[in-house]
Structure 1
């Protein structure tokens, strides 16, 4: 990657080497179509239960494998029935051939890594620059996840993460879900390490949907480029989580995969109820965020922006993303 390439190009390259969700696990009773940074994918569970992410286009005549048939160890194109192995994408059967040894030797579809985590299937388009997300605060929490309906949003990953983690918009956008909240933002307790940024903030239950839950400590955590979470620690109930994983359909268009989780011993509201309340928050954001200009963080300073102390968390997220770009550049240059 050239040192003179634009920051936008560097951001996109970093995302090609980062993990993103492409489907919910609960939807894999049949193949699922996905698009990640313009790359068309099919996600499915083969007959052995293995979760698979592969190219969606059949290399014979362009059939769409996401409407194909899953076999014990392959997926078949709906157009001519060509089968491709779930293990490595090699063509394993051509029904029109009497002699299967004559299968074109180069006929195959690309197979991508597939990781099942947080109720979703994750993949990466190129050699990853970092490991799959595994936030330390969740590792011993024995979390039970519920994946929400994804939300389509015509903005980029960075803008989406910043919205999820911005606290100054609460009094203006979340009047229903949160009730009246102070407009003045206190000094934020933020720390950053590499591509991770954390913020610790007490929640006053207020008069919104959370009023009956009582106060708690919110532990915000973002990992560049695409994980944003809040881990709620209630004295009354225990630990619950909401997390967003915006996945870039293209550079300025995301599909927001997200979900909620309760610790196994959480004694508060059910997963379904927590999802209902958190979805209210998400849907309040949508009409505001989809009209932002520009539609992604202006990495190349193409527009002028001004910041104040209330932006401390999102500014540190940008530093995380820049660090990810640096690591990606070094990885690519090292070859």
Structure 2
């Protein structure tokens, strides 16, 4: 259920509501040979591929005696409970079979589980808990590209979604956190040219391939894109090799805990390193971040100014992301008031 609206909700209240109405990944497509468990904003889910090959997301608790459906098996279009074999349709959650009943017409009419939307994109299965306030991420810069994706092993981090996205898109921490993966980088950040369009934020920078595994393909133009609440990508445009990308999608287990789903993609005719090598290099960056961000205080962006923060021009991109998240909050409030339909921008 949606978080109830209050007369004077805090920004944190609005952020939590906005996330319940936003798309997040809950599993890698490559893992769906067996049902997968997931938790999204406290909701216990099971993700599976039905007999027709369609990804499904439903509640994980069997309403008979509370067994975990992620331990069950898939039968055609249904997920079967491991305890007593009750089966539930992956599309609408209705109970389709109770093995102990001789007469299947006597299945309890209210025996059902909640089914959620499921979309496969970027090598992952995405869902949304409530009516979406914006459509699932579909970056315009990738629409005409033939990208081949490789989903990485997800990472767990004791931070909120916004704090995780800000870490991905912060450019001032490189010389202090990424000395190994990126090599020496200037401490002084050049003036940033940032553009915000609704819930999307864009920026371009040049990458100098002078040192570090980070830049093994040569000089390139980096196109940064993030979108509220939980999408962050870099598209690397190499003059000779072509296009490769990295994207992160932190998914909130709770308000202050994320599972970071992420992956890399190369254009099909990319002439540089393999997907596996690109993933190895990008994983170095993620793993260098983790020991620092896991100690952030507070664990999420202080939307209600509960602690003081001070910003400088190098924070221009992340400040615009906060404005984009604020726009998402406003759209969610309008959606709940019946004034808005989903749109990406």
TM-score (norm 1): 0.99
Matches within 5 A, 1:39-78: 39-78=43-82
Partner of residue 173 from structure 2, selected from 165, 169, 172 = 169
Matches within 5 A, 1:256-295: 256-295=260-299
Q: In the aligned structure 1, how far is the partner of 2:330 from the partner of 2:91?
A: 33
**Secondary structure in 1 aligned to 2:234?**
strand
Alignment pair present for 1:323 and 2:327: yes
Q: Spell out, residue by residue over 1:162-210, the C-alpha distance to the aligned partner (whole angstroms, 9 max, x if none).
A: 0000000000000000000000000001000100000100011131003
Shift of 1:3: 5.4
**Secondary structure in 2 aligned to 1:213?**
coil
Alignment pair present for 1:305 and 2:309: yes
**Secondary structure in 2 aligned to 1:305?**
coil
Structure 1, unmatched stretches of 5+, are: none
* Native 8 Å contact 1:181 1:206 kept in 2: no
Cα RMSD of the aligned pairs, angstroms, is 0.8
**Secondary structure in 2 aligned to 1:187?**
coil
Q: In the aligned structure 1, how far is the partner of 2:14 from the partner of 2:216?
A: 45
Matches within 5 A, 1:198-209: 198-209=202-213
Q: Spell out, residue by residue over 1:277-299, the C-alpha distance to the aligned partner (whole angstroms, 9 max, x if none).
A: 00000000000000000000000
Alignment pair present for 1:148 and 2:145: no
- The answer to which of 151-160 and 79-88 deviates more is 79-88
Matches within 5 A, 1:91-130: 91-130=95-134
User: Which residue in the other structure is 1:183 paired with?
Assistant: 187
Q: In the aligned structure 2, how far is the partner of 1:171 from the partner of 1:280?
A: 14
Alignment pair present for 1:234 and 2:251: no
- The answer to which of 148-157 and 205-214 deviates more is 205-214
Q: In the aligned structure 2, how far is the partner of 1:248 from the partner of 1:286?
A: 16
Q: In the aligned structure 1, how far is the partner of 2:267 from the partner of 2:60?
A: 36
Q: Size of the alignment, in residue pairs?
A: 335
* Native 8 Å contact 1:91 1:107 kept in 2: yes
* Runs of 4 or more above 4 Å deviation: none
Alignment pair present for 1:38 and 2:42: yes
**Secondary structure in 2 aligned to 1:101?**
helix
**Secondary structure in 1 aligned to 2:337?**
helix
User: Which residue in the other structure is 1:332 paired with?
Assistant: 336
* Native 8 Å contact 2:207 2:215 kept in 1: no
* Native 8 Å contact 1:178 1:206 kept in 2: no
**Secondary structure in 2 aligned to 1:334?**
coil
Partner of residue 228 from structure 2, selected from 224, 230, 234 = 224
